[in-house]
Amino acid sequence: MDLSVEDRQRLAGDAGPAAQLAMRIVVRLAESMGVDHLLDITGAHVDSCLYHGQSGLDFAGRLVEGGASVAVPTTLNVSSLDLLHPELYRGDEAEGEAARRMAGMYEEMGCQPTWTCAPYHLENRPSFGEQVAWAESNAIVFANSVLGARTARYGDLIDISAAITGRVPAAGLHLDDNRRATVLFRLLDVSPDLLDLDQVYPLLGTVVGAASGSRVPVIEGLPTALSEVRLRALGAGAATAGSIGMFHAVGSTPEAPTLESAMGGRDPHEVVEVRTSDLRASRDQLCTVSGSALSSVCLGTPHYSIDEFQVVVALLTGRRVHPDVDFYVSTGRSVLAELELRGWADLLRSAGVALVVDTCTYVSAILADTTGTAMTDSAKWAWYAPGNLGVDVVFAGTSECVESAVAGKVLLDERVWSGV
């Protein structure tokens, strides 16, 4: 392995036990990947701060005791708690305390207490071509695909190790060659009306993700200059159903001005045709229940942006959520601060919406009723919540979610799917 002088010093323990452990993890991972040198990074986004059990505390504890301090600006992904509104937590007391202790340890290492799975909503997001080490699947896909920054598909444990050392294996999506699409998705009969609906993008994401595996897909046939909201939903859906770290949408993402550039001038290994019926099947797969009973509405996975809140605010102005329905929107504390400034936070709260920050309703014990049906506009939430929480789920568009919350029962607009 081609290591720098500083790498060797860290491995030898010269920079303390935590830097030594972090360096060992980076090097062992590089070795397991067959990679012979490392790269410098300029930033990191860390997901290890989410509490999954004693081992997370053991790992963070070992780093803090060993004098860990991050070498590059580092943001933190969600916690299992809403640290600003602890009263929302309904889970086990001891587990909540452990999660809080763990969150504190990551702050102690110098990470910024951003507590969001949407670090691309923060100021100072990475620029085109910048090498970073991001964890959290939706953030990874967004960084690579929408920002044109470069991160491999990092996960827990390596993310903080990279942040402490400032080094990552020179592999994966850090390198030009691995960023070219090898699988081509062609939209066949998907109507412009359907493509004008936000809810189609997370569904398309799950279709693309499931068929891509870990390859880089390119999608042809979409409207150009798609909004960040739509690109993000597509990427989050794809990273849920598959293990992609990047996608190209011709005419929208920065490394895909044309199909040829996205593919690096090469032919695809595979061409996949996507039909409206595939999108509908994806929608049906994300719904575990039919019927009109409704207990909760959960939006904000990944964390809602200001643009997405604008849609909900417009739909709820002058109206109220039905008293039998719990309505949650998860977001980052930086977006919450902006909502407060605009007066939207008060408007939403008085309409009956609970604003959840620092965490997500599917990783934290927040939902008041997990025996009933929850509605969501997120493919990711719909995918994971039944396993995590035991709820039944209905996936639908944002406006259907809001209309249902007001009515107190599931209302679906099936017209968009008619004839499919």
Partner 1 sequence: MRGCGQVSEQPVVLVAGSASGEVLCLDESLSFWGGVDPRTGEIVDHHHPQHGCTVSGRVIAMPSGRGSSSSSSVLLEAIRSGSAPEAILVLEPDEILSLGSIVAGELYGRSLPVVVLDEATYSSLVTGETVAVGEDGSLHRQSGSVDDDPDNTTGG
**Under the rule (CB under 8 A), what is the footprint of partner 1?**
21, 24-25, 28-29, 32-34, 47-48, 50, 52-56, 58-59, 62, 135-137, 140, 152-159, 213-214, 239-243, 285, 288, 383-384, 386-388
Q: Given the DSSP bridges, would you call strands 38-40 and 167-169 parallel, antiparallel or unpaired?
A: antiparallel
Strands 44-46 and 133-134: parallel
Please check whether residue 209 is in contact with residue 352, taking contact to mean a CB–CB distance below 8 angstroms: no
Identify which of residues 112 and 288 has a Cβ nearer to partner 1 in the complex.
288
Residue 291 Rama label (left phi>0; alpha psi -120 to 50; beta)? left
CB 25, min distance to partner 1, A: 6
CB of 376 to partner 1, least distance (A): 15
Least distance CB 50 / partner 1 (angstroms): 6
**Calpha distance 118→115 (Å, rounded):** 9
Q: Is the peptide bond before 302 cis (omega within 30 degrees of 0)?
A: yes
Shortest Å distance, C-beta 293 to partner 1: 19
Q: Return the number of other C-beta atoms located less than 10 Å from residue 86's C-beta.
A: 11
Q: Are 141 and 179 in contact (CB under 8 A)?
A: no
Task: Write the CA distances from 112 to 50, 56, 107, 121, 356, integer angstroms.
Answer: 14, 19, 6, 14, 19
When the beta carbons of 252 and 330 are compared against partner 1, the nearer one is 330
Burial 284-306 (b: 16+ CB within 10 A, else e): ebbbeeeeeebbbbbbbbbbbbe
Which residue's CB is nearer to partner 1, number 117 or number 405?
A: 117
Shortest separation between residue 396's beta carbon and partner 1, angstroms: 18
Query: Closest CB to partner 1 among 52 and 349?
Result: 52
Q: Which is nearer to partner 1, 59 or 120 (CB)?
A: 59
**What is d(CA 47, CA 26) in angstroms, rounded to the nearest whole number?**
16
Compute the least distance from the CB of residue 243 to partner 1, in Å. Answer: 5
Q: How far is the CB of 8 from partner 1 (least distance, A)?
A: 19
Nearest-angstrom CA–CA distance, 408 and 293: 8
- Nearer to partner 1 by Cβ, of 386 and 408: the residue is 386
For residues 181 and 256, which CB has a smaller minimum distance to partner 1 in the complex? 181
